[in-house]
Structure 1
Amino acid sequence: MVLTISPAFSQTTTTTPVAFPRMAAYLGVLHPLVTIDQKGSETNFNRYYTVGFPIGINLWKTGNLGFSVEIVPLIRAENGTSKVANVLFHPGVLVNLGNDFTFAGRLAFETSGRYGITPVLNKIVKRGKTNNYFVAVPIPIRFGNDKPTALTVGFQFGIVF
């Protein structure tokens, strides 16, 4: 009698469970769209153009809850010149909402002297082997520096590593 051992193949594949804590970094481009305060509304792309470049690190403690910190240099182009007009320090809490949606509740501290909060709704729109692509809608609410309270709606897109 001859005993033969053959490898067995399965129809299903298994995925490796994600280990926590887990860290991810990201880069993005932020376009503030409209800002509203007691004086009315002001739109980007009109008299000036402001663009931000969020750079951040997310530390997921579990699959549902994490911490994030980002720094956002903001460049303003106006009257034929441009400059870094503000730098934002933006720590916050991440909540996984499922279906590739994440809520970020952020504190905001700006070099312009303003401060506040920024709720952000984020969606992964394309998954890759080594990175993911996302879009987000941040809604900054700012106070301080002898200016009226302001609410802005923005659009952000980027890549997560």
Structure 2
Amino acid sequence: MQKLNSIFLRTFIISTGVLVSSLCVFILPGVAQETAHLNPEVAYLQYPILLGMYATAIPFFYALYETLKMIAIIERKSVFSSRLEQGLNYIKYCAYVILVLYISGFFLLDYSNALPPLVAVIGIVIIIITTLVATGAAFLKHVLIKSRLNVN
């Protein structure tokens, strides 16, 4: 049963990575082009915004990689490993980097009066989800440390 769960988790994480990379390669440039065409007054921000979104994809993919490594560690029955704690730290830091990039981009666009409502809504959703991921990773790390102290 546990092997089936880890296979399902790996499949889900890999398919999430493939989906996000497909969005980055195929969908984002077209959306940026269309947005620049619809809003010519902010068309000069097309490539900086696209670059900012690609910059946030790097920590996202690293967090997925760390998650796959953590699943491999759990499969080896070393649940109380310090490597799991380190992996949770990396995921939390990746979430912080994404948060900083999106919040700074959000304020930068708002300051220059170039923040379309759809981009604002998408940005707020991503900020909320990233905050939840960072909080969840910190909570899991706390639980892992607490349970490791109770076992010893």
TM-score bucket (shorter structure): under 0.3
User: Considering only CA atoms, is the larger Rg found in Structure 1 or Structure 2?
Assistant: 1
Structure with the higher fraction of residues in helix conformation: 2
Higher relative contact order (CA 8 A, sep 6+): 2
Structure with the higher fraction of residues in strand conformation: 1
- TM-score normalised to structure 1 length: 0.21
- TM-score normalised to structure 2 length: 0.22
